[in-house]
Amino acid sequence: MRRRDEYTRFRLLDSAPRSAAEHMALDKIIMQTHSQGLIPNTLRFLQFRPCVLVGLHQNTFLEVNVPYCRQNGIEINRRITGGGSLYWGPMELGWEMYAAKDTPGIPRKIEALYRLLCEAVVLGLHSFGISAAYRPVNDIEAGGQKIAGTGGTELAGSFVFQCSVLVDFPVAEMMRALRFPLEKLRDKAVKTMSERVTSVKAQIGFVPPVEQLKAAILGGLRTKLGYDFFPEDLNELEVDRLTAELPYFQSDDWIYGRDERLVNTIDCTADYKAPGGLIRVQMRLDDALQVIKYVIISGDFFAYPARAVNDLETVLKNTPVSKERIRKKIMGFFADQEVEIPGVAAEDFVQAVLLAVERGIPQAQPV
Amino acid sequence: MENGQWDFPENLWYDEHYQWIRKEGDHVLFGLTHYGLEITGDILYLALPLAGDEVCRGDACGSLEAGKWVGRIYPPISGRVVRVNEEIARRPALIGQDPYECWFMELSPSRPLESKGFMTAAALRKWLEREGQDDA
């Protein structure tokens, strides 16, 4: 049996910015090598040149403005983990934890793992005076706006948890590089998105040195989990495997994927007139599975607290497009939260979302 | 929920990847247990191998995505994929409704079928207790 410190002593990898393909290949290689018991538990910091990363099952052409990215030197690649598409600016900071599932303090349940590791990041962000908090299932928010996202995967007895912290996030550039189901008036679309994401700089007014940010994240992990981190490099085996794997991660087969495994999506919009104002719903639906991938709700109503709309959007992610499930989620949200929206009832949001679903999938069936 | 309260039908076998296993003649069907579903969360996408593929016991042969988490599917035996459950691949949400009816694939073993390493429902409960996994 291994001693406790063999689990809680983490190798710390911290390389200069790499290409998206190198980082994605390393994700696979470190995961695989760890699952074979050939490397210790590892924490890795990541910085990228500007790039977009789609989730494992996403259709790159539906998610990414490929011509714009090609013209502007923005790399495109695919993650080995799930979830949606991401834009990475040069200032954003990622970190990943590769560890044995039986590492002390690591819960088996995925939701509990997300909570634990997100709360470690929250502690780190608190050290900068940012009022960050964990937002289930896998986000970290500040003032109701997303400041970090997470994801992960597992292989045999190992897992990887990934987290991206928005440091100085260029919302307008993200909206040029990715495809969103938003109105074509760019200024309004940027404003809509800016209300949903924030960054370290937006919160504290400046960009702290990246070494301070890394130290804060490590501090949060030490406090929350009691782990120790010791800088090292990739070992020879990992470097050899990177050389072998990199061509595939640079290939169109990987970046654009095999069609039969990819998810096709439908974008739809609806305007619904409630007594207290207009509700505009813009959403992306998964065509085959008939679930809401994400929804953006705006309009000329007033919500108290203002973050309530962002929280409702989060609740609706991955909801099947069934009238009953959508109604249950929205009504449950308003029953659980203290939200006031003069002239707009929970039922109005139900009707607005259902109208958008109907526009996207006229024959939507309950799952 | 304590593991004593989880539904582990007595007529099935189990492995350490939270999967159930059912023998049908010389073949094996397997899927995700209710406990495995609770650990992972609602399944959104499922990637399965193709009928005719050879799989190796313990080596991941497919994946399942729940939110931003991608889990793996592990064949409980080495052998050939006879058929995959296309209905589940199209509608993974069905697993959440009745995981013990939602098999991933049917396997034909590459050598005479052995149950070595499989657990009964009682053995699975004991294993979960030993592993301290009641926190799920």
Report pLDDT digits (tens) over A12-64: 999 778 999 999 999 999 999 999 999 999 999 999 999 999 988 888 998 99
Res. B24: pLDDT tops 60: yes
Of B38, B39, B70, the CB nearest to A153: B70
Beta-bridge partner residues of A163 = A95, A150
Interface list for A 285-344 with B (CB within 8 A): 286, 288-289, 291, 317-318, 320
Integer Cα distance of A345 and A339 in angstroms: 10
* pLDDT, position B115: 66
* pLDDT, position B136: 44
Residue of A nearest to B43 (CA): A318
Residues of B within an 8 Å Cβ radius of A: 38-42, 44-45, 47, 58, 60, 63, 65-72, 90-93, 131, 133, 135-136
Is B45 in Cβ contact with A82 (below 8 Å)? yes
What Cα–Cα distance (Å) separates residue A161 from each residue in A96, A262, B52, B126? 5, 23, 33, 28
Where does the pLDDT of residue A213 fall: very low under 50, low under 70, confident under 90, or very high at 90 and above?
A: very high
Distance (Å) from the alpha carbon of A263 to chain B's nearest alpha carbon? 9
Is A80 in Cβ contact with B93 (below 8 Å)? no
Q: Give the closest residue to A27 by CA, choosing from A78, A77, A80, A76.
A: A80
Torsion angle of the four alpha carbons B22, B24, B30, B33, in this order, in degrees rounded to the nearest 10: -30
Average pLDDT over residues A192-214: 95
Average pLDDT over residues B24-32: 94
Residue type, A172: A
Indicate if ipTM > 0.90.
no
Beta-bridge partner residues of A95 = A45, A163
E-strand stretches of chain A: 9-14, 42-46, 51-54, 75-78, 86-88, 93-100, 132-135, 139-142, 145-155, 158-165, 228-231, 265-274, 277-286, 291-299
* pLDDT, position A364: 57
% of residues, chain A, pLDDT over 90: 66
- Model confidence, pTM: 0.83
Distance (Å) from the alpha carbon of A206 to chain B's nearest alpha carbon? 30
For the record, the structure tokens of B5 come out as 């309260």
Res. B4: pLDDT tops 70: no
Interface list for A 2-61 with B (CB within 8 A): 55-57
Where does the pLDDT of residue A367 fall: very low under 50, low under 70, confident under 90, or very high at 90 and above?
A: very low
* pLDDT, position A261: 64
**C-alpha neighbours within 13 Å on the C-beta side of residue A206:** 5
A2-6, A38-42, A217-221: least confidently modelled range: A2-6
Euclidean distance between the first and final Cα of chain A, in Å? 46
Distance (Å) from the alpha carbon of A160 to chain B's nearest alpha carbon? 10
pLDDT (tens digit per residue) in A222-275: 999 999 999 999 999 999 999 999 999 999 999 998 755 677 788 899 999 998
**In the predicted model, what is the mean pLDDT of chain A?**
91
Of residues A138 and A113, more confidently modeled: A113
A149-158, A187-196, A346-355, B104-113: least confidently modelled range: A187-196
